[in-house]
Amino acid sequence: MDRKEQIVELIAQGYRNVKALAQHFGVSLMTIYRDVRELEKDGRIVRKHGELLLKEEAGEIPEEGMPTCAYCTKPIEKRLEFTYRLRRGRTVRACCAHCGLLLYKNIKEEDLESCMTWDFINCRPISCFSAWYVVSSSATPCCLPSAIAFSSKDDAEKFARGFGGYVMNFETAVDAVQELMKRGTPVRIKM
């Protein structure tokens, strides 16, 4: 395999800059720049925000400004962000847990590496899969019916006592949000 083909392969694996590639091959930055320029000209890769990306990955990242939700296209606020990390350095970002939960069924199990969001109370990063969700409460920081993530079940229950809604784990929340979207909102769901 010639070096340019290997470069495409490495970018697919998550190499994002010329320096890392130069180190990998033990050649000068200039050499890699030349390969990268040719690959760009061939339309195989693109450079965006200083990162090297495969042509097909680049569409997921907006040209400028805030990233937008892959489900509803709203700009994403950091504190509600819900992000799936996929193999080969790809990500699928949602504006909030509502959209994130709805996107889950579109993601192939074998591509999925992890998923993170932020605890609504302490703003710490948490794994989406172990988080607790308050679904369909009267608090609506983003999309409707709202889904809000907490790292602790106790916090989620306290929140639901104040704002209503149902406390659910990831799997249940995925199904509930989908069901609620089908039926329109607000609706009461059986638990």
The residue among 10 and 72 lying less far from Zn ion, judged by its C-beta, is 72
Residue numbers 90-119 binding Zn ion by CB under 5 A: 95-96, 99
CA distance 88 to 127: 19
Q: Which residue number, 71 or 159, has a Cβ lying nearer to Zn ion?
A: 71
Closest by alpha carbon to 73, among 88, 89, 94? 94
Strand, coil or helix: what is 147? strand
Binding flag, residue 18, Zn ion (CB under 5 A): no
Q: Which is nearer to Zn ion, 35 or 81 (CB)?
A: 81
38-77 footprint of Zn ion as x/- string (CB under 5 A): -------------------------------x-xx-x---
Least separation in angstroms between residue 181's CB and Zn ion is 12
Which sign does the torsion angle of CA 21, 89, 52, 35 carry?
A: positive
Query: Residues 143, 147, 168, 173: which binds Zn ion (CB under 5 A)?
Result: 143
73 or 130: whose CB is closer to Zn ion?
73
Nearest CA-CA partner of 167 in 103, 120, 122, 107: 120
Strand partners, 47: 52
Q: How far is CA 190 from the centre of its chain?
A: 30
Q: Does 156 bind Zn ion (CB under 5 A)?
A: no
**Considering the complex, what minimum distance in angstroms separates the CB of residue 79 from Zn ion?**
12
Shortest Cβ distance from residue 47 to Zn ion (Å)? 27
Residue 83 and residue 93 in contact, taking contact as beta carbons nearer than 8 Å: yes
Minimal distance in Å, beta carbon 101 to Zn ion?
Answer: 10
Q: What angle do CA 181, 184, 185 make, to 5 degrees?
A: 100
Q: Is the Cα dihedral 40, 43, 45, 47 positive or negative?
A: positive
Name the site residues for Zn ion (rule: CB under 5 A).
69, 71-72, 74, 95-96, 99, 142-143
